[in-house]
Amino acid sequence: MHRFALDNLISRPVRAILSILGLAVAIGGMVGLFSIAGGINELVSSTFSMIPGILVQERGAPVPIFSSLPAAWQKEIEQVDGVAVVNPEVLVRVNVLENKPVISPPRFCLGFDIPSRMKLHDTIYGDKVIEGRFLNETDVGTTNVLVSRQIAEATGRKLGDTVRANGNALTIVGIYECGTVLLDCNILIDMGTLRRLARYDEGSVSCYYVETKPGFAQKDVGKRIETLFRGRDLKRASDAPANALAATLVGIGQAIGVTTNAAPPAQPEPAPSPAPASGEPPASSPVEVRSGDDWAERFEDFTADLNFFLTLITGVGITIAVLSIVNVMLMSVTERTIEFGILRANGWSRRNVMSLVTLESAVLGIVGGILGSIGGWVAVQIINRAFPERAHLHAGLFLMLFAIVFSTALGMLGGLYPAWRAAKMSPMDAIRRG
């Protein structure tokens, strides 16, 4: 039966090829679209596996650049049980790099306290230096920086050269490469220098990078930090007009793709709120602590929604491909009416006829799935190589196998109605109609 099915398809090559190509295009599109979500998951997983510590930032801030915390809170965090090192960070958007506006991919100046950074067991960037050296205490107060290899190549700068970011001349003393676009977008600099150049408030930081002591669970340490600041308020009622203006400016900046460099003015640290009375809900903490797993879970929620929309988009192409197979198989059944009548007259059962037609459509699905999967994978590799800083697509083995199985199922589904139509005719009726 298998040989018979292949011979029937080969005898009508043009229709078979067109049907296979239609399905291959749909499957290739599916592989390409779902590689977007797969790329995000793979990128997030590989990135946060390089970040062993936890991040303390303002509650509700989507990313640290929108966060602002009092610098004085560092000493309190250092006293929390299980905390080994607290490294304050200041993050500033680079809007102009080498006199050219920066829109995509985004670039940032990451300023950190160098002395406390040197105490970290894992500095994240320290072992990723490919040229020059990492920042040390001699760089405090200087404009010495580390840049990623991507930034160095994009600006045409090398070790020892000067690169201009937001109008400031910075000297490159090291070049690093982490291999992920989420980390290879930074210019590393002394925090005090960045505050001075960006006019960032001296009493504020964007976030705190915390390294925990061995034997302490990060979630437990994070809960202690959040509890420590529970009930405190980062804003005062007297500052409402200024805060409203700042929020408006940030909203406008986000809408047009520009982020302000200066942090909101630091507010005097309010005293902790009294403990809530019995029966009252506890006050929330103004900070939230995120680990690498927390970030990964947030991105998984995002990719789940993304997969839903990608499924809707892919469904259009899949529907067209299935209709194409149905059309081809119906035409094939119509032309072979006499053939099916003769087969039935020679002892073939209705099940045999249905199996034959379904097998033919399954072959179309398998071939279309293989070609589509290969084409989609090749397209993903070309896009990743052509746009290494903007695209990170990932078409894994599971996605490829799923695409082939799914295509085969679509082929069989498309052949069910034509198979049923061919099998329901009696031998004499089929020969008479032919």
Question: Where exactly are the structural domains of the chain?
Answer: 2-46+296-433, 54-270+280-290
Integer Cα distance of 369 and 253 in angstroms? 45
Are 35 and 307 in contact by the 8 Å Cβ rule? The answer is no
How many percent of the chain have pLDDT more than 70? Answer: 79
Integer Cα distance of 111 and 119 in angstroms? 16
The per-residue DSSP string of 173-227 comes to EEEE--SSTTTTTEEEEEHHHHHHHHT--TTEESEEEEEEPTT--HHHHHHHHHH
How many percent of the chain have pLDDT more than 90? Answer: 38
- The residues facing 211 across adjacent strands are 85
Q: Mean pLDDT over residues 334-339, rounded? A: 72
Two structure tokens written together for 35? 């590689």
Least confident range from 184-193, 201-210, 275-284, 334-343: namely: 275-284
At residue 340, the pLDDT reads: 72
Integer Cα distance of 250 and 244 in angstroms? 10
Q: Confidence class of residue 250 from pLDDT cuts 50, 70 and 90? A: very low
Residue-wise burial string across 174-190, b where 16 or more C-beta atoms lie within 10 A, e elsewhere: bbbbbebbbbbbbbbbb
Q: Where are the alpha helices (DSSP H) in 81-189?
A: 114-117, 149-155
Instruction: Assess whether pLDDT exceeds 90 at residue 194.
Output: yes
Integer Cα distance of 136 and 208 in angstroms? 19
Least confident range from 86-90, 186-190, 315-319: namely: 315-319
Any residues with CB less than 8 A from the CB of 383 and at least 6 apart, and which? 391, 393
At residue 245, the pLDDT reads: 37
Residue type, 325: I
Specify the DSSP class assigned to residue 79: T
Q: Mean pLDDT over residues 405-419, rounded? A: 81
Are 375 and 283 in contact by the 8 Å Cβ rule? The answer is no
More confident residue, 414 or 154: 154
At residue 267, the pLDDT reads: 44
Question: Average model confidence (pLDDT) for the chain?
Answer: 80
At residue 271, the pLDDT reads: 46
Angle (CA) 52-55-59 rounded to 5° is 150
CB count in 10 Å sphere of residue 146: 27
At residue 295, the pLDDT reads: 66
Q: Confidence class of residue 143 from pLDDT cuts 50, 70 and 90? A: very high
More confident residue, 349 or 321: 349
Q: Confidence class of residue 236 from pLDDT cuts 50, 70 and 90? A: very low
More confident residue, 282 or 197: 197
Instruction: Assess whether pLDDT exceeds 50 at residue 251.
Output: no
Integer Cα distance of 289 and 418 in angstroms? 59
Q: For the whole model, what pTM was predicted?
A: 0.66
Are 395 and 31 in contact by the 8 Å Cβ rule? The answer is yes
